[in-house]
Structure 1
Amino acid sequence: MNYTHITFTVKSEDFNSIVKKLEDIVINILLGRKRDERDERSVYFTDPDGHKFGFHTGTLRDRLSYYKTINHK
Structure 2
Amino acid sequence: MLKNLNHLTLAASDISRSLQFYVEILGFIPHAQWDQGAYLSLGQLWLCLSKDSVDTKRDYTHYAFTIGIQDFTDFILKLRQAGVVEWKENRSEGESVYFLDPDGHKLEAHCGDLQSRLQACRQNPYQGMKFF
- Could you tell me which residue of structure 2 aligns to residue 45 of structure 1? 99
> Aligned partners of 1:49 and 1:8: how far apart in 2?
18
Higher relative contact order (CA 8 A, sep 6+): 1
Percent identity, please: 35
Q: From 60, 66, 69, give the equivalent of 2:114.
A: 60
Give the letter for the 1:22 counterpart: L
Indicate whether 1:27 and 2:79 are aligned: no
1:10 to 53, 57, 67: 67
Segments of 4+ moved more than 3 angstroms = none
Task: Select the structure of larger CA radius of gyration.
Answer: 2
CA contact (8 A) 2:87 2:106 kept: no
Where do 5+ consecutive residues of structure 1 fail to align? none
Write the deviation string for residues 12-63 of structure 1: whole angstroms up to 9, x where unpaired.
010000000000110111231445xxx2100001112110001011112211
By percentage of residues, which structure has more strand? 2
Looking at structure 2, the residues matched to 27 and 60 of structure 1 have their Cα atoms a distance apart, in angstroms, of: 27
Higher relative helix content:
1
- Report how many residues are paired: 69
Aligned equivalents of 2:67 and 2:120: distance in 1?
Answer: 18
